[in-house]
Chains A and B, each alone.
Chain A
Amino acid sequence: MANKKLAIIATKGTLDWAYPPFILSSTAAALGYDVRIFFTFYGLQLLKKDLSLQVSPLGNPGMPMPLGMDKWFPVLGTAIPGMQSMMTMMMKQKIKAKGVASIEELRSLCIEADVKLIGCQMTVDLFDFKRSDLLDNIELGGAAMFLEFAGESDICLFI
Chain B
Amino acid sequence: MADFDKELDARGLNCPLPILRTKKMLNDMSGGQTLRVVATDPGAVKDFQAFSKQTGNDLLESAEANGEFTFLIRKKA
Contacts and interface: CB of A to CB of B under 8 A. Distances in A.
Contacts of A32: 54-55
Describe B's contact surface by its main secondary structure.
Answer: helix
B48 to A, nearest CB: 12
Contact of A109 (B14, B20, B54, B55): B20
Nearest to B39: A99
A111 interface: no
Nearest to A4: B54
Interface string A15-30: 0000000010011001
Contacts of B17: 99, 101
B51 A30 contact: yes
A100 B14 contact: yes
Contacts of B23: 30, 113
Describe A's contact surface by its main secondary structure.
Answer: loop
B31 interface: no
Contact of B20 (A26, A98, A99, A100): A26
Contacts of B13: 99, 101
Given A30-B51, A31-B55, A32-B54, A23 B16 contact: yes
A101 B19 contact: no
Nearest to A33: B54
A30 B14 contact: no
Nearest to A23: B16
Interface of B: 12-17, 19-20, 22-23, 41, 51, 54-55
10 contacts: A23-B16, A30-B16, A30-B23, A30-B55, A31-B51, A31-B55, A32-B55, A100-B14, A100-B15, A101-B16
Given A27-B20, A30-B22, A32-B55, 12 more contacts: A26-B16, A30-B16, A30-B51, A31-B54, A99-B12, A99-B13, A99-B17, A99-B41, A100-B15, A101-B16, A109-B20, A113-B23
